[in-house]
């Protein structure tokens, strides 16, 4: 495939990420989907955000397949994208259980891409740590705001 064709695929992947439903799905995935157990994953998979979960993971699994099959070079893909690492980082600890319960091929292309990416598993682990840190800071701010609100109500 020519460089122009590869560039066209990269731009098309970007364009698809901008579609309204996909944006909502990606927002939900990164903001609200934080599975710690297979029960958390199952709740999302069978709940109101099932479509969002499936849309995000299968989108990045499809994009990964394009790289794994050679339609887009690994170096080009990884220099223009990193969201797939965050997506993978959220499901990585549960992959064996997810595959055992739902589908043996769940996220297989994405996992193959992560493994082909230099330091891919480490990047995934670091992304997971960063996201946990962000969630912890948000929770601390919310707890402090609730404490201050409760204190001001008592004083009123």
pLDDT tens digits along 11-67: 999 999 999 999 999 999 999 999 999 999 999 999 999 999 999 999 999 999 999
How far is it between the farthest Cα atoms of the chain? 70
Please tell me the least confidently modeled range out of 51-55, 126-130, 135-139.
Answer: 135-139
- Condensed to tens digits (0 to 9), the pLDDT of residues 63-111 reads 999 999 999 999 999 999 999 999 999 999 999 999 999 999 999 999 9
Query: Are 60 and 83 contacting, i.e. CB atoms less than 8 angstroms apart?
Result: yes
Cβ atoms of residues 117 and 156 within 8 Å: no
How many other CB atoms are found less than 10 A from the CB of residue 84? 24
Cα distance between residue 137 and residue 100, in whole Å: 34
Where exactly are the structural domains of the chain?
A: 3-155
């Amino acid at each position: 495939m020519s460089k122009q064709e590869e560039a066209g695929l990269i731009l098309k992947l970007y364009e698809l990420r901008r579609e309204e439903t996909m944006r909502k799905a990606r927002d939900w995935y990164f903001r609200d989907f934080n599975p710690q157990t297979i029960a958390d994953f199952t709740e999302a998979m069978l709940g109101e955000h099932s479509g969002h979960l499936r849309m995000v993971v299968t989108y990045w699994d499809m994009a990964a397949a394009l790289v794994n099959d050679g339609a887009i070079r690994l170096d080009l893909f990884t220099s223009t994208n990193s969201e797939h690492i965050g997506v993978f980082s959220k499901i990585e600890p549960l992959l064996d259980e997810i595959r055992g319960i739902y589908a043996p091929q769940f996220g297989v292309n994405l996992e193959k891409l992560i493994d082909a990416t230099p330091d891919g598993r480490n990047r995934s682990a670091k992304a997971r740590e960063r996201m946990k840190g962000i969630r912890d800071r948000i929770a601390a701010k919310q707890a402090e705001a609730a404490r201050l609100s409760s204190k001001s109500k008592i004083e009123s």
